[in-house]
Amino acid sequence: MKLNLTNKGAEPCILKGFPGVSLVADAAGAPIGAPAARDDSAGVADVLLAPGQTGTAVLRYTQAGNYQGCAVVDAAGYRIYPPEDTDSLFIPQPTRACSNAEITLLSIGAFQPA
């Protein structure tokens, strides 16, 4: 799936690098299991976003039930930390997660122009 971030400000901004991504139990909840692993196959680039423009990163999810030793739990969605930011966003999308932090279900690419 594609993770899109849009510049909602009045000035251009640069989006560079990887977002932090985790599955969470609810909008205010702590992460469940391992955070997304970085997929650097596309490389990292400066993405200059004018107001209203969007950058995109590829987010991959593998089914929790595919892993032996996975303690499957419900997740309400994804917590996203944009690059170089400590504020997070919540994307509601119910799915299944592994509470075992040794199993990585997610991978995330660097932001690219949309």
Token pair, residue 24, equals 């969470």
* Confidence at residue 42, expressed as pLDDT on a 0 to 100 scale: 87
- What digits encode the pLDDT tens for the residues 66-108? 999 999 999 999 999 999 899 999 999 999 999 999 999 999 9
The reported pLDDT for the residue numbered 26 is 93
Predicted confidence at residue 41, as pLDDT, reads: 92
C-alpha distances in angstroms, 95 versus 53, 77, 103? 29, 7, 16
Single out the residue of 10, 107, 1, 15 nearest to residue 55, CA to CA: 15
> Residue 55: what pLDDT?
96
Retrieve residue 96's tokens. 């299944």
pLDDT for 72 equals 96
pLDDT in tens, 28-74: 989 999 999 999 998 899 999 999 999 999 999 999 999 999 999 99
Domain boundaries defined on the chain: 2-113
